[in-house]
Amino acid sequence: MELFQVQPVLLQYRTILVYGTDQGSIYICEEMRKKGIIPTAYLQEEAIHQIDSDIPVWDKNQIEDISAACVVFPFWNKKIFEDIGKMGLKHIFVYGTFYQTNLILENEMKDISVLPFFQINEEVKKRDIVIYGVGEVGHRLFMELLNYEVRVKYFCDSNADFIGLKLMNKPILSMEDLKRRKDSCNVIIGSVDYADEIEKQLLENGIENIYQYNG
Amino acid sequence: MMSYANLNYLLRDHKNGFYFVIWGVGGRERKLCRTLSLLDVPVKYFINTDEKNECKEIYGIPVCTVYDLLYEKEQQKMQILCFGRGENTICLLESVGIDVVRQLKDAEFYQPAVHNDVSFLLDPILGYVKPSYYKGICGLSGYGIEDAEITIVTLGGSTTDDMQWSIKSWSQILQERAVKEGKSVRIICAGVAGYNIYQELNQLIRDVLVLDPDIVIDYSGANQCGNGVLEGYPNIHDYQKMLFERLRVANKSSFYIGNLVSEVNYGAKSKGTLFDNYQLMTDIMYSICKNWGIAFVSYFQPVLAYKDKFAPDEKEKILNSGTIPLKKNKVYNQYKQFQADYEKSEKREYQTNLSHLFDDKNVYFTDVHVIEEGNQILADAIWKDLKSRRVIL
């Protein structure tokens, strides 16, 4: 199961624009397509720079129905967001890093709503959350969830050196401890390189409520 | 939001029995409270400094006035978390007898030894320099009388820098030690956070020789590997890279210097190992000092990665530091390789290996920085070494 989901409100828009035509914007388009979301157009200040893509490049004058349009940004820029808000658009979604998510969640805009592109899958919050893995990815995942104000209850790791210690004030469990709690926990795999191996190990131990975090 | 490292420091203080009071009742302060709640760290109360705001409680936590701090029975265990350490906040707290340096922590930059808000100055040779002046030279601070018999200059990175933390630096402790033993010693601390050996060399040439010191001490090694070093360019520290990349981007949009500035140049790519480069730079520093009649001593500094065994609570400390986890990673391996290269290299007469100094001590609060007790141990070790070398008689 995926930990992050596309913001449901974005899916309600008929016209989804991606701001800019540089590498970041093209990357977002490709990622959106993988998730079955087809952007309507790239948006530029002046649509003079065409790119080799089946997705057209528009300027703001080409947006037929402003109220049915939203913009996806590959970066945070409060000034540009405010300008977009003055055009009459209601939503901006930022496809960003942890740092940008932090900016989004801490800043309120006057005329427009700015949201992270992804939201946390609500199902994951329905049980105690355990992060499997206390390495770099596990650390990063913990901070990401903190950003979204999601409580992590435990960590878990296979390394016996860590069992019984605390990471960010949360106890680190062994697999046996986790097994005992399997019905009350959702486990998020806090590793990219060993994700498949860990998933297999969890399933072998009867733990099925597993979420993937792609780092 | 606080960074990982800063939250980690706060948790460490919580574990050591400190309790927290949040200064202010705005959005940021409430977010901080919620974050601490997610970390199972309670907030005792908020301090409301706005008389017009009649808020009595937030999330079930009381809101008090600054005067309520007067009634705190265990002030020494209190940490006041404040965003930005404004003058008004400091004045108000001092007026009620709060030891601001020890207790007021900037919530965004929370550090166990009160990380000071240091704004660096740009420097065309060194990249940046700390904003302290001694004898009109930026980047230096002095301990002891000006006409002392012996002048020592200390060079290094953040473990030598005396502006980063509110604890005593080893330079200051060394000077006090000398005075206790009846020596007339002045110490000029030239340590600046992030400096690697190449910056220290340039500092020596430009800013230290003019001081006419008797002894130059270099305490380094930590910034020669790990995340601080730009791959392939060991004389460029990550902070310099960050600074110049930002200047390059700023140049494109805000100021114009013709065609002069378009990209950033990092110089020739290094062919040798990280240690080869370090050795070369210290050899050059030694030659320069020798030429000027200055005694030069280079100390290979200890870092957490060099420890083979950890105390039980130290393991948890390392795990939470996020910088060098117990599992081996690239940074850890670089440090170990650097140490191995040093230990098998041909020893120079001016070098002393201190990499095992803290092996049986629990003094680290990051992967390289130590608490004041650590600086005491370090100053002691350096003092004894200087005497055994007969550099100090």
pLDDT band at A59 (very low <50, low <70, confident <90, very high): confident
Q: Which residues on B lie below 8 Å from A152 (Cβ)?
A: 38
pLDDT band at B362 (very low <50, low <70, confident <90, very high): confident
> Which among A61, A44, A45 is positioned nearest to A53, based on CA atoms?
A44
Report the pLDDT value the prediction gives residue A215, as an integer from 0 to 100. Answer: 62
> Residue B337, SS3?
helix
Report the pLDDT value the prediction gives residue B357, as an integer from 0 to 100. Answer: 95
Note whether ipTM > 0.95 here: no
Report the pLDDT value the prediction gives residue B124, as an integer from 0 to 100. Answer: 86
Report the pLDDT value the prediction gives residue B42, as an integer from 0 to 100. Answer: 95
Cross-chain Cβ contact A162/B28 below 8 Å: no
The predicted model gives A95-105 an average pLDDT of: 68
pLDDT band at A47 (very low <50, low <70, confident <90, very high): low
User: Which of A 136-165 lie inside 8 A of B, CB atoms?
Assistant: 136, 139, 143, 146-147, 149-152, 159, 161-162, 165
Task: Considering only the beta carbons, identify the residue of B1, B4, B39 that sits closest to A169.
Answer: B39
Cross-chain Cβ contact A135/B325 below 8 Å: yes
Residues of B near A (Cβ–Cβ under 8 Å) read 1, 4, 7-8, 11, 14-15, 27-28, 31, 34-35, 38-41, 315-316, 319-320, 322, 325-327, 329
Between B107 and B352, the higher pLDDT residue: B352
pLDDT digit string (tens) for B154-206? 999 999 999 877 789 999 999 999 999 999 999 999 999 989 999 999 999 99
Helical H segments across B147-237, by residue range: 170-180, 197-203
CA distance A35 to chain B (A): 30
> Which among A133, A144, A148 is positioned nearest to A191, based on CA atoms?
A133
Q: What number of C-beta contacts closer than 8 Å exist between A and B?
A: 54
Tokens coding B122: 């740009």
Using the Cα atoms of residue B286, residue B287, residue B288 and residue B291 in order, give the sign of their dihedral: positive
B144, containing H or E segment: none
- For residue B114, pLDDT over 50 is answered with no
- For residue A41, pLDDT over 70 is answered with yes
- For residue B313, pLDDT over 60 is answered with yes
- For residue A125, pLDDT over 70 is answered with yes
pLDDT digit string (tens) for B3-54? 776 788 788 889 888 999 999 998 889 989 999 999 999 999 999 988 777 7
Tokens coding B63: 């809101």
Please answer whether residues A17 and A40 qualify as being in contact, where contact means their C-beta atoms are separated by less than 8 angstroms. Answer: yes
Task: Considering only the beta carbons, identify the residue of B4, B315, B327 that sits closest to A135.
Answer: B327
Extended strands (E) in B29-74 = 43-47, 57-58, 61-64
Give CA–CA dist B361/B306, Å, rounded.
13
At residue B229, φ and ψ (nearest 5 deg) are: -105, 135
Q: What is the dihedral of CA B165, B168, B174, B178, to 10 degrees?
A: 150
Please answer whether residues B298 and B352 qualify as being in contact, where contact means their C-beta atoms are separated by less than 8 angstroms. Answer: yes
> Would you give the end-to-end CA distance of chain B in angstroms?
52
The pTM of the full predicted model, rounded to 2 decimals, is: 0.72
Interface mutation vs chain B, best among A22, A146, A163, most B CBs within 10 Å: A146
Percentage of residues in chain B having pLDDT higher than 70 = 90
CA distance A29 to chain B (A): 25
pLDDT band at A119 (very low <50, low <70, confident <90, very high): confident
Please answer whether residues B176 and B186 qualify as being in contact, where contact means their C-beta atoms are separated by less than 8 angstroms. Answer: no
The single residue listed with the structure tokens 């016996």 is: A160
Q: What is the dihedral of CA B7, B9, B10, B13, to 10 degrees?
A: 160
Cross-chain Cβ contact A102/B4 below 8 Å: no
Interface mutation vs chain A, best among B38, B323, B332, most A CBs within 10 Å: B38
Between A114 and B166, the higher pLDDT residue: A114
Between A6 and A108, the higher pLDDT residue: A6
Print the SS3 string covering chain A. Answer: CECEEECHHHHHCCEEEEECCCHHHHHHHHHHHHCCCCCCEEECCCCCCCCCCCCCEECHHHCCCHHHEEEEECCCCHHHHHHHHHHCCCEEEECCCHHHHHHHHHCCCCCCEEEECEEECHHHHHCEEEEECCCHHHHHHHHHHHHCCCCCCEEECCCCCCCCCEECCEEEECHHHHHHCHHHEEEEECCCCCHHHHHHHHHHCCCCCEEECCC
Buried b (16+ CB within 10 A) or exposed e, B124-143: eebbbbbebebeebbbbbbb
pLDDT band at B100 (very low <50, low <70, confident <90, very high): confident
Between B227 and B195, the higher pLDDT residue: B195
Between B103 and B257, the higher pLDDT residue: B103
**Is residue A126 less than 8 Å (CB to CB) from chain B?**
no
